[in-house]
């Protein structure tokens, strides 16, 4: 697979050479850059919990996280089908370290500033096909740029999409590196040979969306994985079903199967939903391959009940959500996640995990988003959302604000 990485580098070289050699043409690349669009975001993110280790409590700096981030980007206008995108990110504590928060989502050393080039890719459009090569964000069920933190994890990849078939989108990607949310560089993605993703989405049946993805992950034990989802609507009721399959190629490894169902509906100002998922016994948990598998696409995931809880092997889960929009642009939601771990579970065998979450989101100010969450988690000492002792629950408060320009 190493030869494919060489192909990616050569493609980037050819695209750059083409741009340089044609810069003199009418409607030059310089004009495409000049007529492009800039983008940016300012974001502050704070979280604290009542974990009692060392006698600490809610709002103590030892239990708190703070990050302030700046994103500045630029997208060129099209030039003979070519385009370029760049996004620069920086995160700092603004003096919070040692005062109100001693921890960071993105930084290994909370007292240090970090900056990185998260996106830098060249794109080419021809007909109904698009190619992207370079650093970029990717959206898919099992390799994904997650946006729960200040800024997302991103990848070095070759990405292709085609929409020639009516109501159908076909995607392929070859991923070589990833910068995790808490990381200081782009590192090999699941080994040094890269990984392959193939996907298709179809909307040819009115009111029904079908999607399917195949992943081949080159790691210590090669993994073949599938993800299927069907989502539709019957009158005022939304229905969805999903299936996940993981098959690691290693001695003594067993495949993992998972499935789920989701029902939701809007009744007046209320949004109601219920979901059930089941992860079978197996070697691998049902999580994404990206960002150390901390997130899962399963319908029953919550802020705290995520990859290591909802995605745990031998686990059946239920999630109930009630949301209300009392005024325009204001959404208040209450979710409850219940996770029943079997005797062979990778989480807490024979025990139950629970997550209760109240979230508030407001988008009534132009270009500004405000978010707050209060989370109670009882995970029997599993994962990052745990109390000082396995029997302790954990109360967590999270708030962030974003301004896009």
pLDDT digits (tens, 9 = 90+) for 32-62: 888 999 999 999 999 999 999 888 999 999 9
Spell out the SS3 assignment of 79-140. ECCEEEEEEEEEEECCCCCCCCCCECCCCCCCCCCEEEEEEEEEEEEECCEEEEEEEECCCC
**CA dihedral sign of residues 17, 18, 22, 27:** negative
User: Mean pLDDT for the chain?
Assistant: 92
d(CA 154, CA 144): 8
Q: How far is CA 50 from CA 57, 275, 378, 398, in A?
A: 4, 29, 13, 12
- CATH superfamily for 1-219 is Porin (2.40.160.10)
Whether residue 207 is predicted with pLDDT greater than 60 in this model: the reply is yes
Over the stretch 272-330, which tens digit does the pLDDT of each residue have? Answer: 999 999 999 999 999 999 999 999 999 999 999 999 999 999 999 999 999 999 999 99
Model confidence at 8, pLDDT cuts 50, 70, 90, reads very low
From-to residues of CATH 2.40.160.10 in the chain: 1-219, 220-405
Q: What is the pLDDT of residue 9?
A: 52
Distance CA 75, CA 98 (A): 38
Q: Residue 6 is inside which H or E element, if any?
A: helix 2-21
Q: Given this model, what pLDDT does residue 31 score? A: 84
Backbone angles phi, psi at 220, to 5 degrees: -55, -40
Confidence of residue 27 (pLDDT cuts 50, 70, 90): low
> pTM for this one?
0.91
How confident is the model over 146-190, as pLDDT tens digits? 999 999 999 999 999 999 999 999 999 999 999 999 988 999 998
CATH homologous superfamily for the domain 220-405: Porin (2.40.160.10)
Share of the chain above pLDDT 70, in %: 93
**Residue 378 half-sphere exposure toward CB, CA atoms < 13 A:** 13
> What pLDDT does residue 388 have?
87
d(CA 271, CA 359): 13
Q: Using pLDDT thresholds of 50, 70 and 90, give the confidence band for residue 16.
A: low
pLDDT score at 61: 95
- Over residues 341-367, the mean pLDDT reads 97
Closest CA to 374 of 332, 405, 342, 402: 332
Using CA atoms in the order 147, 405, 369, 270, what is the torsion angle rounded to 10 degrees? Answer: -90
Task: Please check the confidence at residue 214 and state whether its pLDDT lies above 70.
Answer: yes
Give the pLDDT band of residue 111 (cuts 50, 70, 90).
confident
Confidence of residue 358 (pLDDT cuts 50, 70, 90): very high
DSSP string, 290-322: SGGG-----TT--SSSSTTTTT-SSEEEEEEEE
For residues 169 and 379, give the distance between their C-alpha atoms in angstroms, rounded to a whole number: 39
pLDDT for residue 190: 80
């Amino acid at each position: 697979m190493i030869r494919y990485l060489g192909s990616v580098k050569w493609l980037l070289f050819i695209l750059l050479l083409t741009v340089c050699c044609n810069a003199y043409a009418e409607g030059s690349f310089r004009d495409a850059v000049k007529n492009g669009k800039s983008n940016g975001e300012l974001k502050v993110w704070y979280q604290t919990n009542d974990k009692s280790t060392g006698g600490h409590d809610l709002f103590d700096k030892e239990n708190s996280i703070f990050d302030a981030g700046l994103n500045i980007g630029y997208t060129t206008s099209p030039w003979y089908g070519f385009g370029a995108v760049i996004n620069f990110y920086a995160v700092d504590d603004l003096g919070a370290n040692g005062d109100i928060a001693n921890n960071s989502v993105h930084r290994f050393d909370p007292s240090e500033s970090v900056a990185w080039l998260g996106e830098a890719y060249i794109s080419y459009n021809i007909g109904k096909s698009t190619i992207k090569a370079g650093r970029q964000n990717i959206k898919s069920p099992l390799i994904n740029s997650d946006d729960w933190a200040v800024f997302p994890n991103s990848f070095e990849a070759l990405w292709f999409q085609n929409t020639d078939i009516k109501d159908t989108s076909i995607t392929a990607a070859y991923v070589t590196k990833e910068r995790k949310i808490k990381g200081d560089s782009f590192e090999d993605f699941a080994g040094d040979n890269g990984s392959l993703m193939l996907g298709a989405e179809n909307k040819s049946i009115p009111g029904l969306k079908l999607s399917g993805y195949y992943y081949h992950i080159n790691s210590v034990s090669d993994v073949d994985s599938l993800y299927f989802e069907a989502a539709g609507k019957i009158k005022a009721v939304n229905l969805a079903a999903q299936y996940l399959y993981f098959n690691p190629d290693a001695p003594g490894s067993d495949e993992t199967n998972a499935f789920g169902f989701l029902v939701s509906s809007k009744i007046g100002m209320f949004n109601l939903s219920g979901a059930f998922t089941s992860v079978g016994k197996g070697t691998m948990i049902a999580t994404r391959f990206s960002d150390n598998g901390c997130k899962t696409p399963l319908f029953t995931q919550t802020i705290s009940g995520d990859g290591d809880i909802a995605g745990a092997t031998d686990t059946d889960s239920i999630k109930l959500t009630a949301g209300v929009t009392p005024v325009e642009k204001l959404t208040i939601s209450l979710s409850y996640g219940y996770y029943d771990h079997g005797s062979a579970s990778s989480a807490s065998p024979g025990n139950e995990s629970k997550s209760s979450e109240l979230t508030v989101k407001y988008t009534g100010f132009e270009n500004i988003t405000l978010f707050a969450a209060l989370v109670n988690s009882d995970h029997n000492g599993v994962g990052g959302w745990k109390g000082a002792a396995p029997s302790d629950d954990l109360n967590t408060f999270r708030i962030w604000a974003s301004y896009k320009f």
